[in-house]
Amino acid sequence: MIRSIAVVLALVLALAGCGGDTTTDPGDGAVGGDGEELFKRTVLADNAGCVTCHSLTAGRVLIGPSLADIGAVAADRIPGTVARDYLEQSIVDPDAYVVEGFRAGLMPDDWVEGGLSTAEVAALVDYMLTLGAG
């Protein structure tokens, strides 16, 4: 119940504060899109989009941790886990590892059930791997 309220609250805040395009549908019924475009949607797969809760500014916390440098730190989050696997798991099973200082249960865990395809998850991971890398 609390989780549902948190998700609804995040979605309401995102919609109230963001304006702009809040659709997950590019017009043909499919979610589609490249990783950066998917990340920047305010609504994605029946949930508040990534950018609603995750800042791309180092040190700026919205609801979840900033992802400004996630491409550089993802491989170090779980010993023995490569960056790509960590990021994919963070999307499909977000409570498997929770970043210190954040609470489990805040990030939705129904991205695939909500409509994200395997290719879209991979596109999001590909995009996140570019953040802070280089």
CATH code for the domain of 111: 1.10.760.10
pLDDT at 133: 75
Confidence of residue 33 (pLDDT cuts 50, 70, 90): low
pLDDT at 10: 44
* Domain span holding position 72: 2-130
Give strand ranges (E) for the chain: 43-44, 47-48
Does the structure show a pLDDT above 80 at 27? no
What's the structural domain count of the chain?
1
Type of residue found at 108: P
For the segment 120-128, the average pLDDT, to the nearest whole number, is: 97
Dihedral sign computed on CA atoms, order 80, 86, 88, 94: positive
Q: How far is CA 5 from its chain centroid? A: 18
Structure tokens at 129: 């791997």
Contact 60, 79 (CB under 8 A): no
Tell me the per-residue pLDDT of 86-123, one tens digit each, with 9 for 90 and over: 999 999 999 999 999 999 999 999 998 888 999 999 99
**Integer CA distances (angstroms), 76 to 3, 81, 129, in order:** 28, 8, 13
